[in-house]
Amino acid sequence: MIDKQDLINRFVSYITVDTESDPNSNTTPSSEKQWDLANALAKELEDIGMEDVSIDKNAYIMATLPSNIDKDVPVIGFISHFDTTPDFTGANVKPQIIENYDGSDIPLKGTDLKLSPSEFEDLLLYKGKTLITTDGTTLLGADDKAGIAEIVSAMEYLIKHPEIKHGKIRVGFTPDEEIGRGAHKFDVEKFGADWAYTMDGSQIGELEYENFNAAGAVVKIKGKIVHPGYAKGKMVNSMYIATEFINALPRTETPEQTEDREGFFHLYSVNGEVDGTELQYIIRDHDRGLFEERKEKMNQIAAILNEKYHDRVSVEIKDQYYNMREKVEPVMHIVDIAEEAMKQAGITPIIKPIRGGTDGSQLSFMGLPCPNIFAGGHNFHGRYEYVPVESMQKAIEVIVNIAQLVGSK
């Protein structure tokens, strides 16, 4: 359907632009460098023949592929994000292209490390395929520049093949998804779709319409610093109180010890001195009731410690997004269409909950139901990230199939 080398060239042109988002910034986009790719994408959409191309003051990009049929069908959308995570650097990406992968270890040539099927068994699914990996010094950026490459390539294919009948299609590219803000300033009314799909999943075949309920928590502990030689009965070491807080949460309910629909508390940052310590957590659970219980548990621990240590602990919890399932289930035909599109492409759908979130989870609660479809990459957010080119080609085929299915119903 899509020439492999053309797809590789397009994808590489995206990942070699640094678009790392910045959680400490209050601007949108959070990093100025995201504009570099955003502006290039807007121009590329015009160049391939998309209409109504716009890029707003916050770098949100939208464009239209007009309907080529003479009947009313729903307007659908496809959405991806162009930022990369601040978890690992995305500057100076030097991709490696492995043709006809043979199942052996892949040296990451910028380091002494290897991408090995002994650690990442999924690699063996792609023997004989073309893999794009990092050189070990950066992430790759397939999350979610693979999704962008797939959407742009699918739109270009439909433009070049007007014999394929479809309704109106809207595409949208967003900044700052990796720091939880990708949908915050997305204009759902302007987008004007009845529903959409984020192309932001991982392994080929993934189709997701459930995700975590999510919150962030900041725990602050006030201590009291005095000279250690005269500290008896006076010093209050905030780091010891912080340790009590950490140990009061169930140790088995952490990311590394949970799976499937099991929720967790994730302590991802500790910054402490005697006089003050700050803990940063994320809270996740697929079940809304259990999610609320997790937030309450953190408040209960703080209350116990405050009674013991005379009001030295504060907890601030902010909800981030909710499980899109409750918004998608009433319109399950949009999942059925994606499932049929995959089957038409010879793909066995893998329908499972996301142990994370996408722009689609927030957009679903903003009135745009938005299941998530695979983009093909693996091992996101780090140096071992890779994507099989053939998975990207199949994702393009799925987009085209969805367009045809909606146009024919």
| CATH code for the domain of 285 | 3.30.70.360
For residues 311 and 338, membership in a common domain is answered with: no
Q: Which of 22, 44, 83, 385 is catalytic?
A: 83
For residues 207 and 217, membership in a common domain is answered with: no
In this prediction, residue 357 has a pLDDT band, given cuts at 50, 70 and 90, of confident
Residue 161 has pLDDT above 90, yes or no: yes
For residues 192 and 236, membership in a common domain is answered with: no
In this prediction, residue 354 has a pLDDT band, given cuts at 50, 70 and 90, of confident
pLDDT of 243 reads 98
Active-site residue flag, 262: no
At 80, the amino acid letter reads S
pLDDT by residue (tens digit) across 98-111? 999 999 999 999 99
248 φ, ψ (degrees, to nearest 5) = -80, -20
For residues 223 and 266, membership in a common domain is answered with: yes
| Nearest partner of 45 among 161, 178, 159, judged by Cα | 159
pLDDT by residue (tens digit) across 162-179? 999 999 999 999 999 999
Domain count, the chain: 2
Residue 180 has pLDDT above 90, yes or no: no
CATH number at residue 354: 3.40.630.10
Active-site residue flag, 177: yes
- In this prediction, residues 256-261 reach a mean pLDDT of 94
For residues 189 and 235, membership in a common domain is answered with: no
pLDDT of 116 reads 97
- In this prediction, residues 123-128 reach a mean pLDDT of 97
At 395, the amino acid letter reads A
Q: Residue 282 and residue 141: Cα distance in Å, rounded?
A: 23
Q: Which of 321, 350, 378 is the last residue of a domain?
A: 321
For residues 180 and 67, membership in a common domain is answered with: yes
Please list the residues that pair with 195 across neighbouring strands: 76
Q: Which two tokens stand for residue 94?
A: 């030097």
- Greatest alpha-carbon pair distance for the chain in Å reads 86
Q: Which of 293, 321, 349 is the last residue of a domain?
A: 321
pLDDT of 313 reads 98
pLDDT of 320 reads 86
- In this prediction, residues 377-406 reach a mean pLDDT of 97
For residues 317 and 328, membership in a common domain is answered with: no
Q: Which of 22, 156, 177, 397 is catalytic?
A: 177
Mean pLDDT of the chain: 96
pLDDT of 355 reads 86
For residues 252 and 283, membership in a common domain is answered with: yes
For residues 264 and 372, membership in a common domain is answered with: no
Q: Residue 194 and residue 329: Cα distance in Å, rounded?
A: 15
pLDDT of 63 reads 98
For residues 283 and 233, membership in a common domain is answered with: yes
Q: Residue 307 and residue 285: Cα distance in Å, rounded?
A: 29
Residue 358 has pLDDT above 80, yes or no: no
In this prediction, residue 56 has a pLDDT band, given cuts at 50, 70 and 90, of very high
Q: Which two tokens stand for residue 31?
A: 């990093």
For residues 281 and 246, membership in a common domain is answered with: yes
Residue 72 has pLDDT above 80, yes or no: yes
Q: Where in the sequence is the domain holding 335, given as residue range(s)?
A: 4-211+323-408
For residues 140 and 241, membership in a common domain is answered with: no
Q: Which of 270, 294, 321 is the last residue of a domain?
A: 321
Q: What is the DSSP string of 170-203?
A: EEEEES-GGGT-TTTT--HHHH--SEEEEEEE-S
Q: Which run of H or of E encompasses 200?
A: strand 195-201
pLDDT by residue (tens digit) across 137-158? 999 999 999 999 999 999 999 9
